[in-house]
Amino acid sequence: MSEPRAEAGIQADLALAYPDFSLDVMLRLPGRGVSVLLGPSGCGKTTVLRALAGLSRAQGRVVIGDQCWQDDAQRTWVPVHRRPIGVVFQEASLFAHLSVRANLDYGLKRTPAAERHITLDDAVALLGIGHLMDRRPERLSGGERQRVAIARALLTSPRLLLMDEPLSALDTARKAEVLPFLEKLNAQAGVPVVYVTHALDEAARLADHLVLMEAGRVRATGTPAALFSRLDLPLTQLDEAAAVVEATVAAHEPAYGQSRLDVNGLALWAGLSQAPVGQRVRVRVLARDVSVALSRAADSSIVNILPAAVVSLRDDGPDTVTLQLMLGTPDKHQGALLLARLTRRSCEHLKLAPGQAVFAQVKGVALMG
């Protein structure tokens, strides 16, 4: 698989107005990796994606690397069929009368041979679909159909891959089947991806760059680790509020079904991972799975007891307080953030306040991938 041309980044200033909805966004996305647009239904995510593709017309400007696809001030407009994009929708939309191989050939032939940077063998290996090549779409599971659709989109050798809720039509098992291939796509294909979803787990697992949208506007942008832990954002107000932590696999203990992760020098134990020692991983820690103590318990059943400091607190009503914690000792903060959801009684009993040194007691750690 050859590398596509290096991308300088994605710039999109887009606006439109309907009687019941308006869009006004300014996006600056990196030219590599996965940029996830996250938000509730109706917030404008798909509208942005369609405008990037040229499928919908919004006012403004769209620049992909060194190519200007839209600039209303200069009367520039590149139609959708001339934009080097791959698009994957909620439904796979494969040609029912063609085999998998023929569906892939259709994508491959859309791009002249001299401009291809992804081969058929590359795409087939990346998406793990070699055993499916002679089947028709009706003989594929939902997850297999989406993997074929992604491979077909890649075979157009796009400069930008657009994915609109590609897993939303799949059940939990089929979704779990496809997610590892999406992670490999990010690491190996070298094509920037703009990925639309309302699912927190997908955003936490896949995003290199996260854009939180709300009512047609960009509410915040940044890394998943930063945005999932911000107390001023709605992500931390949900029942499933969770921090995203970057870690490195340090060791495996199969006898206990656990792996030891390194978070900037602190040990965090999680369920046994298939990732090799030394590999970077992400974990998700639910706010309701974190409690706080002023001293380290010597006889607790909780394995993960980590030094931390209270960064900020948010009042969530008459009986609940949410804390943002930074891992590390007062003289050496580790940068990783956690959330803890406590009762008001506990918070007041411990006299918790910003800057206070505490111990975060983590009951559950979910490895992503």
Count of CB atoms within 10 A of residue 321's CB? 19
- Per DSSP, 186 falls in state H
What is d(CA 177, CA 170) in angstroms, rounded to the nearest whole number?
10
- State the CATH class of domain 10-222: alpha beta
Identify the bridge partners of residue 245 per DSSP, sorted by sequence position.
283
SS3 236: helix
Tokens representing residue 178 in the block: 């496809």
Q: How many residues does the chain have?
A: 369
Q: Where do the structural domains in the chain lie, given as residue ranges?
A: 10-222, 242-368
Looking at residue 5, its pLDDT comes to 52
- pLDDT tens for the chain, residues 1 to 369: 555 554 579 999 999 999 999 999 999 999 989 999 999 999 999 999 999 999 999 999 999 999 999 999 999 999 999 999 999 998 888 999 999 999 999 999 988 888 888 899 989 999 999 999 999 999 999 999 999 999 999 999 999 999 999 998 888 888 888 898 888 877 777 889 999 999 999 999 999 999 999 999 999 999 999 999 999 999 999 999 999 999 999 999 999 999 999 999 999 999 999 999 999 999 999 999 999 999 998 888 999 999 999 999 999 988 999 999 999 976 666 689 999 999 999 999 999 999 999 999 999 899 886
Question: Distance between CA atoms of 22 and 8, rounded to whole angstroms?
Answer: 29
DSSP assignment string, 90-152: SS----TTS-HHHHHHHHHTTS-GGG--S-HHHHHHHHT-GGGTT--GGGS-HHHHHHHHHHH
Quote the pLDDT of residue 11: 96
CB atoms within 10 A of CB 20: 6
Residue 6 is predicted with a pLDDT of: 44
CA distance 119 to 115: 11
Question: 242-368 is classed in which CATH architecture?
Answer: Beta Barrel (2.40)
For residues 141-179, b (16+ Cβ closer than 10 Å) or e, as one string?
ebbbbbbbbbbbbbbbbbbbbbbbbbbeebeeebbebbb
Q: Specify the pTM.
A: 0.92
What is residue 191's predicted lDDT score, i.e. its pLDDT? 87
Q: What is the pLDDT of residue 181?
A: 86
Residue 248, strand partner residues: 262, 280
